[in-house]
Amino acid sequence: MKFLILGAGPCGLGAAYHLDKLGHTDWQIFERNDHFGGLSASFLDDKGFTWDIGGHVLFSHYDYFDKAVAGVLGDDYYEHQRESWIRILQTWVPYPFQNNIRYLPDDVLRECVSGLRVLSGHPDTTANFREWMDTVFGGGIVKYFMQPYNRKVWGVPLESMSKSWIAERVSVVDLARVERNIAEGCDDLSWGPNSVFKFPKYGGTGAIYDGIAKPLHDKIFLQHEMSNIDLDQKRVTFTNGRTEQYDVLINTSPLDQFVSKCPAIPDQIASAARKLVHNGGLIAGLGFEGRRDDSKCWMYFPENNSPFYRVTNFHNYSPYNVPDGDTGRYFSLMCETTYSSYKPEDTSRIIETTLTGLVDSGMIDEAQRERIASRYLIDIPYSYPVPTLGRDRELAVIQPYLESRSVYSRGRFGAWKYEAGNMDHSFMQGVEVIDRILKGSEERTLNGAAG
Ligand SMILES: Cc1cc2nc3c(=O)[nH]c(=O)nc-3n(C[C@H](O)[C@H](O)[C@H](O)COP(=O)(O)OP(=O)(O)OC[C@H]3O[C@@H](n4cnc5c(N)ncnc54)[C@H](O)[C@@H]3O)c2cc1C
């Protein structure tokens, strides 16, 4: 059985890694870029700063993935305790916001608590994400944090989103615990799966995927962009003119783009794929001269005095993210802004608007603004696969059809499931689809039973 894999991101590499472990030799990966890693790649700029495509932190739900990563990194990683904060009303509130509202100004704190005390309705009966958050968090927390922050990240109306993806992604609220935290003045910081995370010592997050690809590289063909699929002939054509046959095709490129490149696909499938919604991201990497003594890992910005929703103190993840590993002389901030048709952004001005946002939100002062050592902009047209109300219905049309044609579409945008779209999930979707095809086992990650 010949496997052809499209894309050398975590999912495609997970599939190849597992095929190799199983001793199945008949496979190839074709990747559009000139590097491995997909959205989890990293780049060294010409000033010596390393950048990820947005703040990537490594945490995992799977032993298999952990072992693969350990095999690559050995001891060359740092382990960090998460320190994430929300910048709001000129103060800092530790994450998760709802558990730490005692940091808010008194009048806002009162509004948030009274919103929690008068909660009504049941989250299970709500129709969409916006209604769900009203029911779970109440008026105050929604007004000051949940609504503006989520609108900034997702870039779509929150009423158009489902609530089915939420499980592990949003910390829900426990009024007694919130009131106890306020009364006793306690911080409540440890929620969630990523309270401790790893980061490679050298080369950013992408070092993991470069390391996984290394022993497999003679079967990975870079700079091969798929342009057409003939589902009847089981043949892929690339923009450089090359063609390849397959028995099984594992696609990890965005599902809507993939379907648009299958000319003979039925209208019903093409139409379902066009309804899938995503946003794009502008990642502004800003390297500065100077030392920054600030132990925070990443910070959320719900307010409209900045374009970005999140900033990472990237020099804290590894000193080697700055030139010569010298955090006494340099620091680096990675700032993420969403764009979409509902939320257009001017790419040509984003570095300047980001710098102004950093000053206006108190992250840097005007003097630091003048001490920039590097500006590095990454534009990702596909950043978050949006869990819209219709998403599962569209996927239920598209995926069975493709599978009936020996095409398995997996990974962050291949499967279009945000809730199973992190690095560990994506890698394991690649692993599990191989086990399903070769051994008939269940795909737990794709079907929501793991992760
Ligand atoms: C801003 C941001 C922050 C994130 N933070 C985290 C985090 O903190 N922790 C975490 O675990 N995950 C994080 N992620 C998610 C992580 O990046 C993804 O889980 C992972 O990269 C998905 O892997 P994948 O292989 O499914 O897809 P991708 O990484 O998108 O790889 C798909 C590959 O397919 C290739 N391709 C596309 N079209 C074609 C074509 N026509 N022909 C050939 N090749 C093609 C692409 O070039 C790409 O290399 C984040 C993602 C973003 C965008």
Rounded CA separation 269/403 (Å): 12
By CB atoms closer than 10 A (0-12, 13-18, 19+), residue 237 is middle
- Whose Cα sits closest to atom 13 in ligand 1? 422
Rounded CA separation 31/42 (Å): 16
Domain locations along the chain:
3-42+57-78+202-277+388-439, 84-184, 279-380
Rounded CA separation 68/73 (Å): 9
Q: Which residues contact 339 (CB under 8 A, 6 or more apart)?
A: 155, 279, 280, 281, 282, 345, 347
pLDDT for position 451: 43
The kind and range of the H/E element at 260 are helix 255-260
- Whose Cα sits closest to atom 53 in ligand 1? 383
SS3 226: strand
Expressed in angstroms and rounded, the spacing between residue 148 Cα and the centre of ligand 1 is 26
Q: Which residues contact 35 (CB under 8 A, 6 or more apart)?
A: 41, 206, 210, 222
Ligand 1 site residues, Cβ closer than 6 angstroms: 6-12, 30-33, 38-40, 53-57, 225-226, 252-253, 281, 336, 380, 383, 411-414, 421-424, 426
Write down the pTM of the prediction: 0.97
Q: CATH number of the domain at 279-380, out of 3.40.50.261, 3.30.2140.20, 3.30.70.60, 3.90.660.10? A: 3.90.660.10
- The fourth-level CATH superfamily of domain 3-42+57-78+202-277+388-439 is FAD/NAD(P)-binding domain (3.50.50.60)
Expressed in angstroms and rounded, the spacing between residue 137 Cα and the centre of ligand 1 is 31
- Whose Cα sits closest to atom 49 in ligand 1? 38
Beta-strand ranges (E) seen in 90-224 are 91-94, 196-200, 220-221
pLDDT for position 107: 97
pLDDT in tens, the chain (451 residues): 999 999 999 999 999 999 999 999 999 999 999 999 999 999 999 999 999 999 899 988 899 999 999 999 999 999 999 899 999 999 999 998 988 999 999 999 999 999 999 988 888 899 999 999 999 999 999 999 999 999 999 999 999 999 988 865 666 688 888 899 899 988 887 666 567 899 999 999 999 999 999 999 999 999 999 999 999 999 999 999 999 999 999 999 999 999 999 999 999 999 999 999 999 999 999 999 999 999 999 999 999 999 999 999 999 999 999 999 999 999 999 999 999 999 999 999 999 999 999 999 999 999 999 999 999 999 999 999 999 999 999 999 999 999 999 999 999 999 999 999 999 999 999 999 999 999 999 999 999 865 4
